[in-house]
Amino acid sequence: MPTGRSEFVYELQVCRWAELAWPPDGGTPAFLVARQLGTKRRRWDTVVVETDPEGLAARRRFGDRELDSDLLHIVRHAPAEWAFYRDALPDPGYPWRYVREAIHRADDRGIVDTRRDGNKIEIRRIAPYPDWVDRLIAIENKPDLDASAARQLADQLTHDVDAGLADEVWMATERTEDRVEPALLESLPVEAGILTTEFEAGVDAASAAVEWYPTRLSTAGTDADSDGDRHSRRLELAERAFGRGWRNYGRTMRPDCRFFELHRDGRALLPWCAAKGRHQSSMVCGSSCDDFQPEPPAWRTRGWPIEGGPGKGITQLLADRADRTNRPGRE
């Protein structure tokens, strides 16, 4: 990996490559790319959600923000005709007062219709919540694959294969002179795919190659309950991918710092710290950074303080890129 590039930057490069080149074996389904999503037990570096244009358009009727599990419970079960919410929705398995709160949130966001009948709240769906997720792909990024990283990765991928939450799991690693050491790959489950990357000249669609195709993970043998649970968890992950994408790092870094820049790297834009003279990781670019200096007021966007604010220009640029590229599939 070139000096000064962290695993975080590698992750952004893999996300951008996926956005340009997914799926690696051709075909052009619509898809979304997101990063750092997962469950309590497991967090994936890069997630690709494959869908289709109609499904994505149907999902967008529910707005651009993600739906959490409480909101999903409502929009997936809201009836076509007005009904008392307790009659319409399945027992959530937690107190109904939380459902009532979620109904108010859903109403505020315009994703369910509500009205009162005496002291009863009735609900009606605005549209059927679509079955918009085709496949979930998890990619684990390990730029420097040494023996200990390979062992750790093998455990994680084995868990992914066993859990069957993703349809495919992949490992991405930096291409070396020897390609990838076969001995390192021996311990990885054969179901996991392997991508080797070459980002020296910047990110483009040809920056990664498939070394090993994954096996589509099977859920055969799961019972109806666990299958329903798995379906719900997949939807929650897909919703997070839909709402967050992979360019949301501005929320945890300091784009309001005078040294925060975005540098072009092929077809990617990557965070760059002018004080440190390198691509900074999300770990160092935070409130504890000793080099932080606030962006001078003169740099702030027109409209400040009404519309602008520190770092608003970079934050807006990342949001615009996410809208243009992450939603429909390709630039």
The footprint of ligand SF4 (CB under 6 A) covers 254, 257, 259-260, 273, 275-276, 280, 284-285, 289, 291-292
Q: Shortest approach of ligand SF4 to residue 257 CB, angstroms?
A: 3
Which amino acid, residue 56?
Answer: L
Query: CB atoms < 10 A from the CB of 187, how many?
Result: 14
| Helix H or strand E encompassing 269 | strand 268-273
CA–CA dist 261, 67 (Å, integer): 32
Q: Which is nearer to ligand SF4, 281 or 326 (CB)?
A: 281
Q: Shortest approach of ligand SF4 to residue 174 CB, angstroms?
A: 23
User: Which of 247, 253, 239, 325 is closest to 283 using CA atoms?
Assistant: 253
Q: Which is nearer to ligand SF4, 180 or 273 (CB)?
A: 273
User: Which of 216, 39, 244, 246 is closest to 137 using CA atoms?
Assistant: 216
Q: Shortest approach of ligand SF4 to residue 142 CB, angstroms?
A: 24
User: Which of 7, 24, 56 is closest to 214 using CA atoms?
Assistant: 24
Q: In what order do the strands lie in the sheet containing 208-212?
A: 30-38, 43-51, 135-141, 168-174, 193-197, 208-212
Q: Shortest approach of ligand SF4 to residue 282 CB, angstroms?
A: 9
Q: Which is nearer to ligand SF4, 309 or 328 (CB)?
A: 309
Q: Which is nearer to ligand SF4, 83 or 284 (CB)?
A: 284
Q: Shortest approach of ligand SF4 to residue 83 CB, angstroms?
A: 52
- Residue 154 has φ and ψ, to the nearest 5°, of -60, -45
User: Which of 189, 180, 107, 192 is closest to 147 using CA atoms?
Assistant: 180
Q: Shortest approach of ligand SF4 to residue 316 CB, angstroms?
A: 17
CA–CA dist 172, 146 (Å, integer): 13
Q: Which is nearer to ligand SF4, 149 or 274 (CB)?
A: 274
Q: Shortest approach of ligand SF4 to residue 304 CB, angstroms?
A: 19
Q: Which is nearer to ligand SF4, 285 or 318 (CB)?
A: 285
Q: Which is nearer to ligand SF4, 297 or 303 (CB)?
A: 297
Which amino acid, residue 249?
Answer: Y
